[in-house]
Structure 1
Amino acid sequence: MSALSLGIDTSNYTTSVALVDQNETVIYNQGILLEVKSGERGLRQSDALFQHVNNLPLLLKDLPRGREIEVVCFSDRPRPLPDSYMPVFRAGKSLGQSLAGVLDADLVTVSHQENHLRAAIFGSGSPVLKDPFCAVHFSGGTSEILLATREGIGFRCEIMAKTLDLNAGQLIDRIGVLLGCAFPAGKALEVLAQKAIDHDQGKHCIIPSTMDGMNFHFSGQENQAKEYLNKGVDPSEVAYSLLKAIAKTLSKSISRCRETQSFQSVLFSGGVMSNQIIKSILLKELGRSGLALHFSPGIYARDNALGNALLGMDHYKITGGSLHEKS
């Protein structure tokens, strides 16, 4: 019978559990979005941790039974760096260690960022990415452009460019909440922006990129969006211009990174990269660059535990199922 790998991820806004077999067939992949009070733009770590502890039993309750789990893989930190830490990951770590002990399964620990990259590779059709490749991780907690290389079962990630203030997801959520959207506001803001596209609007609402070499700023875009709204500009036009600014910023930064680093492929991951308007602009901006652009469906771009389950299975295949802990 095929071996199974269980993945657990407790990020800042989603509790998720996934299960895959040796053929990378997704048997289970479910998550619960953390609850944020109306009008709020986030959660304290202590509140998020409490919700994860309550959500994990609900997700495990529906986990398919009757097959043996050989590997348990969880995210224990935000990035693959020794000093990377965030309290919310303790919930997944505690459960993962307990389950591995009870099931006599291999225990694999990786970072949340590596989980994102592995899920995005799977979601984009499992392309063969020549090392090093460019990996974009744009979410509510991270806005980084990485030079990534496969290393064992995970990735070595070197930051080529990053935000110097707000993350792209924070920018979207702040303006979205200001417009009355529920948090997280990404999907609602995309729907609103689509109205401007459908009505051929947004041409007189321009929010430019703010670059600092390869790095970039997003706080200025927040202020400009607020100014347009205060002047009475249609919210759909502002929403579209904001998403366009994020896409243009990302395109410029990737192009500048390529001037100093050698990579042939770009992998897009993180919740912001599930936005179809941003994707369409990036395809237009980078379409003639010669780069291979790899996008993943939203279910695999946003926070989820599938990458961890796949990384656990990578470990199982490499080690032949022998007990081994990777940290």
Structure 2
Amino acid sequence: MSRFLGIDTSCYTTSAAVYDSSRGLVGEERIVLSVNNGSRGLSQSNMVFQHTRNLPVILKRLSPLLTQLEAAGVSSFPRRRADSYMPAFLVGKGTAESLTAALHIPLYEFSHQENHALAAIRNYPDLWGRPFYMIHMSGGTQDVLSCSWSGDFMEISLLIKSKDITAGQFIDRIGVSLGLHFPCGRDLEKLAQSGDSSYFIPCSSVKGSFSFSGPETRVQRDILKGIYRSEDIARGVLAHIGNALEKELTGFPFEPGRPFIAVGGVMSNAYIRHRFMDICQKLNLLPCFADIAYSSDNATGNAFGAFMRYSHENIQCQ
């Protein structure tokens, strides 16, 4: 039995997880960063402060499982690109570097985006080493990607992105205006369940990128009018995101038959998941998800990735 630690310090969640070579995921802890009521985000310095405070608490909770560690994985940057940098990830990286140096075990660095992909691949281990598509929808990202492999390393190329705000930002900004607490995804989904389809937001006629800035302006204006129910607006926002997904994805020349991983906090929404599954069926693509609990920010992907990288390296050395 060997165990592998994963750490992720993203914009709004401090996370750690432990993966066991025999039993799979055996432990996972996270603390969502505190955001003041009415606020729509945090400064990087506040993120760093809260991660620095939270990470020892999380690791203490997991301490009974932190035996027989063979390696660790950590999110060191948002994307695996030279220009991809965010101070929040340095908290997790520094902790992981200190811990692995003290224990004399390997540290594997992943991007936050790769961590999300690996959280889904944990459910579909046969995808390791196989090309796939991925959509990453969160508060800070709205990317459709093509993923191939060079050995055990993912090579990710961008296919479609947002030209302004992301679906996650759209949800959070409208949610805050409706009186919900940031981040608003879960509460807006719950609110939308009581809504009807009377509130409609038309999609842009332009294809080739996502755009939610115009729809947000329209919805904010309608909220101020006070003539629409909050639950109908919430349902209309989710329906619009689903329609935007269908417009952009059905307009792209995907290779039929390939797996299509869907991750990020927005993809923990049941309605968006079902719309994505319907779209994949139309395009003859295989939809693959992380479990809903592990679609939003967490460290399970890094723990699993450390296990896979360590296992392959040691097989090659034998």
Q: Do these two structures clear the TM 0.5 threshold for a shared fold by scoring above it?
A: yes
Q: After the TM superposition, which residues 158-177 of structure 1 pair with which residues of structure 2 at under 5 Å, given as runs?
A: 158-177=157-176
- 1:252–1:278 CA distance, 2 compared to 1 (3 A): same
* In 2: Cα distance, 1:60 partner to 1:17 partner: 7
Indicate conservation of the 8 Å contact 1:134/1:147, yes or no. yes
* CA deviation map 1:74-119 (0-9, x unaligned): 1110001122100100100110100001111111111000000000
* Runs of 4+ more than 6 Å apart: none
Q: Which amino acid aligns with 1:108?
A: Y
Gap runs ≥5 in structure 1: none
Deviates more, 1:212-221 or 1:285-294: 285-294
Question: Quick one: distance in 1 between partners of 2:11 and 2:73?
Answer: 18
Structure 1 residues 211 and 71: alpha-carbon distance in aligned structure 2, compared to 1, 3 A threshold: farther
Report if the CA contact (8 A) 2:2-2:22 is conserved.
Answer: no
Instruction: Give the AA of the match of 1:188.
Output: D
In 2, Cα distance between equivalents of 1:66 and 1:149: 32
Q: Is the 8 A contact 1:114 1:154 kept in 2?
A: no
1:26 is paired with a residue of what secondary structure? strand
* Aligned equivalent of 1:115: 115
For the Cα contact (< 8 Å) 1:134–1:263, is it kept in 2?
Answer: no
User: Relative to structure 1, is the Cα distance of residues 24 and 210 closer, same or farther in structure 2, using a 3 angstrom cutoff?
Assistant: farther
Matches for 1:220-259 after TM superposition, within 5 Å: 220-231=214-225, 232-257=227-252, 259=253
Q: How far 1:264 moved relative to its partner?
A: 1.9
Displacement of 1:289 after TM fit?
2.5
1:30 aligns with 2:24: no
8 Å Cα contact 2:72-2:303 kept in structure 1 = yes
Counterpart-to-counterpart distance in 2, 1:132 and 1:44: 36
Deviation for aligned residue 1:288:
2.9
2:91 is aligned with 1:87: no
> How far does residue 65 in structure 1 lie from its aligned partner after superposition?
4.3
The AA in structure 2 aligned to 1:289 is L
Amino acid at match of 1:92: G
How many correspondences in the alignment? 315
8 Å CA contact retained: 1:160, 1:214: no
Asked if the contact 1:4–1:22 (Cα under 8 Å) also holds between the matched residues in 2, the reply is yes
User: Counterpart in 2 of 1:132?
Assistant: 131
Structure 1 residues 105 and 82: alpha-carbon distance in aligned structure 2, compared to 1, 3 A threshold = same
Unpaired runs of at least 5, structure 2: none
Q: Which moved more, 1:164-173 or 1:143-152?
A: 143-152
Hey, what's the Cα distance between the residues in 2 that align with 1:51 and 1:37? 13
**Alpha-carbon distance between aligned partners in 2 of 1:3 and 1:31, rounded to the nearest angstrom:** 22
SS of the aligned residue for 1:137 comes to strand
Over the aligned positions, Cα root-mean-square deviation in angstroms equals 2.0
Deviation (angstroms), 1:267: 0.7
Give the 3 Å change call, closer, same or farther, for CA 21–116 of structure 1 in structure 2. Answer: same
Query: Does the CA-based 8 Å contact 1:316-1:322 persist in structure 2?
Result: no
Could you tell me the percent identity over the aligned residues?
Answer: 37
CA distance in 1, matches of 2:43, 2:66: 38
Q: What are the equivalent positions in structure 2 for 1:171-210 lying under 5 Å apart? A: 171-196=170-195, 201-202=196-197, 204-210=198-204
The answer to whether structure 1 residue 296 and structure 2 residue 290 are counterparts is yes
Distance 2:306 2:200 in 1: 45
Amino acid at match of 2:299: A
Q: Which residue of structure 1 aligns with residue 304 of structure 2? A: 310
Q: Deviations over 1:275-295 (max 9, x none)?
A: 001112233344332211112
Return the alpha-carbon distance in structure 2 between the equivalents of residues 144 and 151 of structure 1.
Answer: 21
